[in-house]
Amino acid sequence: MTASQVTPGAAAGNVVETKKLSLVFGEGETAVHALSDIDLTIESGEFVSFIGPSGCGKTTLMRVIADLEKPTGGDIMVHGGTPEQARLDRAYGYVFQAPALYPWRTVRRNALLPLELMGMKSELREERVAKYLSLVGLEGFEKKFPWQLSGGMQQRVSIARALGFEPDLLLMDEPFGALDEITRDHLNEQLIHLWQQTKKTVVFVTHSIPEAVFLSTKIVVMSPRPGRILKVINCSSPPDRTLDWRETTDFLEIAHEVREALREGHSYDD
Amino acid sequence: MTDVSLSAPGSNWFTRLKTGRAGPVTVVLMFVVVIWYAGAVYLNAPQVIEQFERAKTPWTMMDLADKSWSMKRPVLPAPHQVAVELNKTVFQKNITSKRSLVFHAWITTSSTLLGFAFGGMLGIALAAGIVLVRTLDRSLMPWIIASQTIPILAIAPMIVVVLGNLGLTGVIPKAIISMYLCFFPVAIGMVKGLRSPDPLQMDLMRTYSATRSQIFWRLRWPSSIPFLFTSLKVAVAISLVGAIVGELPTGAVAGLGARLLAGSYYGQTVQIWSALVVASVLGMVLVFAIGFIEKMTLKAMGTRP
């Protein structure tokens, strides 16, 4: 059984649209319901976070959007077509949990990789790489090899690499999960700035409630066994927010709402 | 060890001897030489004693040792006898002379390197096929492993005879025997190397909808380079073995293998041992050369030192 395509044009302006989307790994008694009845719409320009405990399917959902996994039921549309078509069109940039840099390439050449694969002209791609490396604050590090950089800088290279070919959709799978909190806060601020500058649609997977509330326009709270959406919370954060906004009552109220939703999903049970 | 290196007051030769590899290696070498001299006395003594008794001359232990280290055709020649022979055949002879070991070593080296080049390429090609084509993975691998269970000494004469009938003589049959031996470690190492990219690195390529050849040249190939050099070091050493083995049954008149065979025909043990020493040195030089190229390549690829 494969997912059939939703009639094209049904939802122009929606970047991602799913209906009754499900994914089952394996068969019979050992089957794992990674995703079950996912109904979700992501509009252009939104910053959407998936939050939930381990095994709730947030990464799997992201991988389905990216066509790295095939759903076993329901419908999904990315940019009005199938995820596969979106992948072939290079419609999204994916930032993984780990930087996944190629150790034999310098920072510059790592960022060049997708542009090389796409056959972009040499001058244009050098220009793009220079632009996005400076946007993530890595000017002067072009000739360094990945092992010469800190974890946070490596992840910034991988963000620059994903931005380089200017996709409208940015998929970020716990990009800051392995970093210390200070670095993470700093990168969160940079990411918000970046998002406001580029007006991209961002889908972001995280474990962290403060991170989700700080970054998102929409928070999708998920729960495991089977992986499903518990609640979608809209977030009205001020556009020019800084880290200080996390101490306001607005912020705390939304964080509380997310935590309550997670509790309803038995995320805090043993 | 760490204490020594921490408290070392600079890098004079004595501290370097204590902390480096040179010291232990020298000690082991000295042991080997002592055992070798003792072994020469032990193995050659029966013949020497027989000579003394036939001539009815009285002898002491010193005489025994002295005689057994200077025989013309000893069972085991003493190290200095081999050294004298080496000096004579390596440094004193014109290198184009058939009595020069440099000449024979070059003959063997040329077929070693040719066989190594063939075997390396064959190994890489097989590995690429196995990694890229699913059916080759199932069909080729058992044959590759089975190929190495055949004793090479047994089929070497056959290869030489068959190729001779086809008009191929000289360096080619020997190189083919080398190739037969050395494609194996390269194929095995490269299958592992070409499969070494982690799932995340592969997923990344998929998100760019990269083609198979893009994935191969931009991800699989560079990932496999450390594996390639490890297998090449093994391959070049056994390629030398293959070249020498190839010279034994062919009635070759030149090469280290021919030198070993001639030595054993005429009981020239000193000649055999000199050829063995040259073969070992040659093997070490080849492995070190690959190691050097490896170091340069990995440095150019930005590998963490």
Q: A66-100, pLDDT tens digit by residue? A: 999 999 988 999 998 899 999 998 889 999 989 99
Q: Is A119 part of the contact surface with chain B (CB cutoff 8 Å)?
A: no
Residue B119: helix, strand or coil by DSSP? helix
Q: Among all residues of chain A, which has the CA nearest to that of B200? A: A100
Closest to B178 measured CA to CA, from B252, B123, B96: B123
The contacts of residue A3 (CB under 8 Å, 6+ apart) are A21, A70, A71, A72, A73, A74, A75, A76, A82
For chain B, strand residue ranges (E) read none
Residue A220: helix, strand or coil by DSSP? strand
Q: Is A114 part of the contact surface with chain B (CB cutoff 8 Å)?
A: yes
**Domain assignment present for A151:** yes
Residues of A in contact with B205 (CB under 8 A): 117
**Domain assignment present for A218:** no
How far does the CA of residue B210 sit from the closest CA of chain A (Å)? 6
Q: CB contacts < 8 Å between A and B, how many?
A: 54
**Domain assignment present for A131:** yes
Q: Are strands A201-206 and A47-51 parallel, antiparallel or unpaired?
A: parallel
B175, B114 Cβ separation under 8 angstroms: yes
How far does the CA of residue A94 sit from the closest CA of chain B (Å)? 7
Residue type, B98: K
Q: Do A90 and B208 touch (CB under 8 A)?
A: yes
B136, B127 Cβ separation under 8 angstroms: no
Q: Which three-class secondary structure string do you get for A135-201?
A: HCCCCCCCCCCHHHCCHHHHHHHHHHHHHCCCCCEEEEECCCCCCCHHHHHHHHHHHHHHHHHHCCE
How far does the CA of residue B304 sit from the closest CA of chain A (Å)? 7
Q: Among all residues of chain B, which has the CA nearest to that of A167? A: B208
Q: How far is CA A91 from CA A10, A65, B207, in A?
A: 19, 11, 9
Q: Do B207 and A147 touch (CB under 8 A)?
A: no
Task: Please tell me which of the candidates A67, A94, A117 has its beta carbon nearest to residue B210.
Answer: A117
Residues of A in contact with B206 (CB under 8 A): 67-68, 87
Residues of B in contact with A157 (CB under 8 A): none
Identify the residue whose tokens are 């390429």: B121
**Domain assignment present for A265:** no
How many other CB atoms sit within 10 Å of the CB of residue A238? 9
Residue type, B93: K
Round to the nearest angstrom and report the end-to-end CA distance of chain A: 35
How many other CB atoms sit within 10 Å of the CB of residue A157? 26
Identify the residue whose tokens are 């050659």: B44
What is the Cα–Cα distance from B175 to B181, expressed in whole angstroms? Answer: 10
Residue type, B32: V
Q: Is A105 part of the contact surface with chain B (CB cutoff 8 Å)?
A: yes
- Give the pLDDT score at B3: 44
How many other CB atoms sit within 10 Å of the CB of residue B33? 13
Q: Do A87 and B207 touch (CB under 8 A)?
A: yes
Confidence class of residue B198 from pLDDT cuts 50, 70 and 90?
very high
How far does the CA of residue B213 sit from the closest CA of chain A (Å)? 11
Domain count, chain A: 1
Q: Do A94 and B302 touch (CB under 8 A)?
A: no
Residues of B in contact with A68 (CB under 8 A): 203, 206-207
- Give the pLDDT score at A4: 44
Q: Do B206 and A87 touch (CB under 8 A)?
A: yes
Residue type, B128: A
Q: Fold for B101-300, please state it.
A: MetI-like fold (1.10.3720)
What is the Cα–Cα distance from B241 to B252, expressed in whole angstroms? Answer: 15
How far does the CA of residue A101 sit from the closest CA of chain B (Å)? 8
Highest mean pLDDT among A241-245, B1-5, B249-253: A241-245
Domain enclosing residue A111, as ranges: 102-166
Q: Is A70 part of the contact surface with chain B (CB cutoff 8 Å)?
A: no
Confidence class of residue B251 from pLDDT cuts 50, 70 and 90?
low
pLDDT digits (tens, 9 = 90+) for B138-160: 888 888 888 888 887 778 878 87
B190, B155 Cβ separation under 8 angstroms: no
Mean pLDDT throughout B275-287? Answer: 94
Q: Do B207 and A93 touch (CB under 8 A)?
A: yes
pLDDT digits (tens, 9 = 90+) for B45-86: 888 888 888 888 888 888 888 888 888 888 899 999 999 988
What is the Cα–Cα distance from B177 to B239, expressed in whole angstroms? Answer: 8
- Give the pLDDT score at B238: 93
**Domain assignment present for A108:** yes
DSSP state of B133: -
**Domain assignment present for A147:** yes
Task: Please tell me which of the candidates B209, B218, B222 has its beta carbon nearest to residue A87.
Answer: B209
Burial class (CB in 10 A: 0-12, 13-18, 19+), A27: exposed
Q: Among all residues of chain A, which has the CA nearest to that of B303? A: A104
Confidence class of residue B8 from pLDDT cuts 50, 70 and 90?
very low
Q: Which H helix or E strand runs over A261?
A: helix A249-264
Comma-separated ranges of CATH 1.10.3720.10 domains in chain B: 101-300
B83, B67 Cβ separation under 8 angstroms: no
Q: Which three-class secondary structure string do you get for A21-85?
A: EEEEECCHHHCEEEEEEEEEEEECCCEEEEECCCCCCHHHHHHHHCCCCCCCEEEEEECCECHHH
- Beta partners for A204? A49, A172
What are the phi and psi torsion angles at B274 (to 5°)?
A: -65, -45
Q: Among all residues of chain A, which has the CA nearest to that of B202? A: A100
A22, A75 Cβ separation under 8 angstroms: no
- Give the pLDDT score at A7: 41
- Beta partners for A38? A21
Give the largest CA-CA distance in chain B. 92
Q: Is A94 part of the contact surface with chain B (CB cutoff 8 Å)?
A: yes
Confidence class of residue B6 from pLDDT cuts 50, 70 and 90?
very low
How far does the CA of residue A264 sit from the closest CA of chain B (Å)? 33
Q: Is A92 part of the contact surface with chain B (CB cutoff 8 Å)?
A: yes
Name residues of chain A where pLDDT drops below 70.
Answer: 1-12, 267-270
Closest to B107 measured CA to CA, from B118, B96, B91, B119: B96
The contacts of residue A141 (CB under 8 Å, 6+ apart) are A107, A133, A149, A153
Q: Among all residues of chain A, which has the CA nearest to that of B211? A: A117
How many CA atoms lie within 13 Å of A195's alpha carbon, on the beta-carbon side? 26
- Give the pLDDT score at A124: 93
Q: Which H helix or E strand runs over A16?
A: strand A14-25
Residues of A in contact with B301 (CB under 8 A): 104
| pTM (two decimals) | 0.83
